[in-house]
Structure 1
């Protein structure tokens, strides 16, 4: 049984999160990474939660109910996953550079949603960029883009 399948089973059993709609594994993994970024400083600020919801609804889910369900599943995946590298491993190897760059930009926008990027968020998203295969210039470009996008999806 794959890691994603085990985590889905856990979410269904322990959290009552059903499988009413099939979830794309890539979308689940990307959302789990964004949840991880939003929670890294120990505080899920309302602005971060709202930004996360808007991104997920705009990119991975049809409507607010589907976005909430995906975020709930992703939160369970994040809670059951050892670390950032394990979450990144869930992103398919065939994801192209543009898709990975978009994910990194979204991570920066979630980190900046509350008006600042603290040291934990900065270190985490920079590490995410490296794990996704980007150099410092690409990570910095994604940061600028993500911070500019705060307030608009």
Structure 2
């Protein structure tokens, strides 16, 4: 996955078609981090996959087919991932604080999908939050909002 993300960023660096690529890059970054949460326990529950699909459709105004393709691509490339740094660096470069907060809330929503917060999921979300410099208060608020969204 990191290889593909790296290639996308290299394409952005050429300034060719930046506007057309930017949305895809942001969607792929988000999908990659959301998929990482969903698969950190080495299994992808159908509820997690459905939630991933719904989150990408809603947040990026995608149809179900496009969102599913992004998810499938992120899942296929997951094994190539070696570090969170490139993802979080891209988030820091391209996301506002509000976008970072929404991303972390979405990560929590994925974690809550199967009604079990695994230690690995919590650790991953906490680590991403630290690496993207999301204040701790927003981290805990994102968790509470995601939990409340699950309960309603």
Q: What TM bracket, shorter-length normalisation?
A: 0.7 to 0.9
Task: Name the TM-score, length of structure 2 as normaliser.
Answer: 0.80
2:105 corresponding residue in structure 1: 105
1:84–1:128 contact (8 Å) kept in structure 2: yes
Shift of 1:120: 0.8
Looking at structure 2, the residues matched to 130 and 118 of structure 1 have their Cα atoms a distance apart, in angstroms, of 19
Cα separation, 1, equivalents of 2:85 and 2:6: 18
| Paired position in structure 2 for 1:126 | 126
CA contact (8 A) 1:35 1:52 kept: yes
User: 2:48 & 2:129 partners in 1: Cα distance?
Assistant: 19
Equivalent residue, structure 1, for 2:15:
none
Contact 1:29 1:74 in 2 (8 A): no
Higher fraction of helix: 2
Following superposition, the deviation at residue 77 of structure 1 comes to 4.0
- What TM-score does the superposition give when structure 1 sets the normalisation length? 0.79
2:42 aligned with 1:49, yes or no? no
Point out where structure 2 has 5 or more consecutive residues left out of the alignment: 9-19
